[in-house]
Chain A
Amino acid sequence: MPTAQRIAEAVRAAIPQAATTLRPDVVEALRRALHTERSERGRTVLRQLIDNARVASTDHVPICQDTGTVWVRIELGEGEDLSGDVQAAVDSAVAAAYRDARLRMSVVRDALVDRTNTHDNTPAFIEVAWRSGTGTAVHVMLKGGGSDNASRIEMLAPDEGTEGIARVVIETVTAKATGACPPLLIGVGVGATFDKVGALAKKALLRPVGDAHPHPEVAEIEQRLLEAVNATGIGPAGLGGDTTALAVHVVTAPCHIAALPVAVNMGCCAVRSATVEISE
């Protein structure tokens, strides 16, 4: 049974790792893009991003100055249960990690009535889910404001289908990509309920770039969406080119007979996450 303390230790370890070391799958995708990108300006941008990852990991400095809000997804295996005050323990870990790793404090007390900085980057935004198998996974994502701001949820009618989903993705990219730091990793959630579909889209960003979706039909939809996004010409940094996105990742779920919820959660070129597996 993972205690709040074990979860907090995982979060504490994951934060500096995610903040300063760009995910290897993302570095590899940027390198592939540098080979395929035909725009000279686009290649200049991609070279900066690849150099940036090297400077960050060598000098142990943040990949991006927006070291984000802390999103934590705890996935409990069969028979696993949580004990203790997880929110308090994780918040202590966040405060310690942000102070010690010299990250930026980017959270205000209240969105509406008190926009003063909490000065320790708490609270973390935590969700708990259950999975088959054993052990517990702790996923940590440091989510930048620019990319989260470029995200969107829409409740479609079921008959809008794949076309409707493609429309939402392309509209979101066209309207908001330049502020979301392309080349993007685009997370798309399809299904569940209004409140849960955004979490699906965020979870989609955890999948390594280059790993195919296990369902062939979804994999094909992802490929078509990626081609449509890259046909916009928005390109690296939004300054024109072939590589507007590195990948589109779709996560699907059951939903109401009347519903087709769709969420697009933009991941930036500095998408930052780390996963810690806890096994007793």
Chain B
Amino acid sequence: MTRPLRIDLPLSRDALASLRAGDEVILYGDVFTARDATHARLLAELRSDGHLPYGLAGQTLFYAGPTPPAAGRPAGAVGPTTAKRMDAATPELMRAGIVATIGKGARGRMVRDACIETGGVYFAAVGGAAALLATHVVGIEPVAYPELGTEALVRMRLEGFPAFVALDAHGGDLYAAAPGAWREEAGV
């Protein structure tokens, strides 16, 4: 088995271009949590100001709403939420400068196309592993929308956070390809 690739965030253009759907990665560096309500706010600010707020250009959005701090860690549990709910907003955010997203589950064609168009990627993390994933979150800093509770925009520092490349910048789509590839390989 190939070892997971170490990825430093924010991602460089070279690193983005080198990733392929199916690659196992471990992430180091900063991401920004954003889910349903956060996306509505970000889009509103983007549309009124003409650029991404809070220094988000070039950064990674993590679709997650953590639980409060616990066990001496900044979040007791933090894991990916279903990315598909953010599909409609994603191409616009990627064109404005978001280069990567982290979530779970298959996404629509519009996001695959946006990854090709903007040279971005989508990482899949394992849903249901949030206590383990929280051990790879070493810092949390509020950025905006504290009134949204768990949906607030926060900067999260990752250290060795495990994920897979689900959409790459070349049209590769792990969720679309994996079941068929597995049926073929396993002969089921």
Q: Which residues of A contact B106 (CB under 8 A)?
A: 178-179, 238
**Does A181 interact with chain B (Cβ within 8 Å)?**
yes
Overall SS of chain A's interface:
loop
Q: Which residues of B contact A104 (CB under 8 A)?
A: 65-68, 77, 150
Q: Which residues of B contact A250 (CB under 8 A)?
A: none
Chain B: CB-nearest residue to A53? B131
**Does B60 interact with chain A (Cβ within 8 Å)?**
no
User: Once the chains bind, are A146 and B127 in contact (CB under 8 Å)?
Assistant: yes
- Which of B63-117 touch A at CB < 8 Å? 64-71, 73, 75-79, 81-84, 104-106
Q: A56-B77, A62-B76, A234-B179 are in contact. Are A51 and B65 (CB under 8 A)?
A: no
Q: Which residues of A contact B79 (CB under 8 A)?
A: 64-66
User: Once the chains bind, are B67 and A48 in contact (CB under 8 Å)?
Assistant: no
Contact code string A139-150 (vs B, CB < 8 Å = 1, else 0): 000000110010
B residues sitting closer than 8 Å to A (CB atoms) are 1, 22, 24, 37, 64-71, 73, 75-79, 81-84, 104-106, 124, 126-135, 148-151, 162, 164, 174-175, 178-183, 185-186, 188
A residues sitting closer than 8 Å to B (CB atoms) are 38-41, 44-45, 48-49, 51-53, 55-56, 59-67, 102-106, 115, 117, 119, 145-146, 149, 178-181, 231-242, 268-270
Q: A52-B130, A53-B131, A62-B130 are in contact. List 12 more A-B contacts (CB 8 A).
A: A41-B24, A48-B129, A52-B128, A55-B131, A62-B76, A65-B67, A117-B151, A181-B127, A232-B183, A233-B188, A235-B182, A239-B124
List 21 interface pairs A-B (beta carbons < 8 Å), by A numbering. Answer: A53-B131, A55-B131, A59-B70, A60-B71, A61-B73, A61-B76, A62-B131, A63-B131, A64-B128, A64-B131, A66-B130, A102-B69, A104-B68, A115-B37, A117-B149, A180-B105, A232-B183, A233-B179, A233-B181, A233-B188, A235-B178
